[in-house]
Amino acid sequence: MKRISVQAANGTYEVLCGRGALRELPHVVSRIRQEGAVFVVSSPRVWRHCGARVEKLLGGTRRATILMNDAETAKNLSTVERACRHLVRAGADRRALIVAVGGGVVGDVAGFVAASYARGIALIHIPTTVVAQVDSALGGKTGVNLPEGKNLVGAFYPPKGVVADPELLSTLPPREFRSGIYEIVKYGVIGDVKLFEFLEKNMEKVLRRDRAALGYVIERSIAQKARVVSEDEHESGLREILNFGHTFAHALESVTRYRKYLHGEAVGWGMIAAARLAVEMGMFSSRDEDRVASVTARVGPLPAWPSIPAAKLIAAMQADKKTRAGRLRFVLPERIGTVRCGVEAEAEVLARVLRACAGGAVQTKAAKSRRK
């Protein structure tokens, strides 16, 4: 088990990662809890799998469990309100501690609840999906969606601790498991050549959930996320690299009303589109684009690109938080392991890339890469 430190404005917190890390939960809680009660936020399906184990580890400190729908469509202000009212009825005060047990939706909602309730109460994350373990549970981004766009209402609110145990991934359905691997590919492209090369050579082992391979890629991803957010907690500089593929991804999720893609799948498409845009702009080699397409395709087949005009997708991108003065800004690769932030693209070039995705040109390339 590894202990990885993350620097935040309100102090340093630890990420415990590795098989068996969940057994350390009582020690994590005892170090953080300020004599208040513990309130668990989870979802029915996650709680069925690991609720009894978490309850046993928390013992008499747990006062109540709040179960919420963990679909992306439920990641909204209504869900936040219901959770806060449940806390009031259960007697939560400013010394309360929330333990979020679930994937990215549960973590984002529980984090926003913790940031808002009584103007801020303590929070621990127990991520149960690959996406949550390597990405969303770290760094303090919390929030919910609006009909106009993804994650538009939220707060930076770092947890007091994170317990990332790969054993909790064993019951993940194959599609959800694969969805998280796209985020791991992202880490390879933006800053870890060794991780990317490992995925090129060992993707099948990772997809089989081989203990050593999965543990390796999760630990390297967590270490990279910790490094980035420790240096730039509030996304004023370096942290923007974590948004590689996400401007496209958030637009895809928004225009399909969060019903077509899992988040990681949208990121998979976003990385493919961003690599193509970088080639169109002369920043990225076609050879490296093929490598990104190949690794992404080997994770598994993505849901088809939506039959939506390029203009509508561009309009959805305008709602992205990274837009400045109405101008879209992208994180684009320069080579494997290095990306550039704040790149503006001409509307004509962007529309050409989107039409290529919609018309099948990019899908064909990815499919050929998958067969290699």
Which residues contact residue 177 at a Cβ distance below 8 angstroms, ignoring those fewer than 6 apart?
130, 169, 207, 209
Give the Cα separation of 13 and 61 in Å (integer): 21
Active site residue 263: yes
Active site residue 27: no
Which of the following is catalytic: 33, 178, 186, 250? 250
Active site residue 33: no
Which of the following is catalytic: 160, 178, 246, 298? 246
Which of the following is catalytic: 141, 150, 186, 329? 141
Which of the following is catalytic: 14, 243, 280, 289? 243
Active site residue 346: no
Active site residue 119: yes
Which of the following is catalytic: 33, 125, 263, 291? 263
Active site residue 219: no
Active site residue 250: yes
Which of the following is catalytic: 89, 119, 371, 372? 119
Active site residue 186: no
Which of the following is catalytic: 72, 176, 183, 219? 183
**Strand-pair partners of 144:** 153
Which of the following is catalytic: 14, 235, 253, 265? 235
Give the Cα separation of 69 and 365 in Å (integer): 37
Active site residue 235: yes
Which of the following is catalytic: 125, 239, 322, 329? 239
Q: What are phi and psi of 338, to 5 degrees?
A: -140, 130
Which of the following is catalytic: 33, 150, 160, 225? 225
Residues noted as catalytic: 119, 141, 183, 225, 235, 239, 243, 246, 250, 263
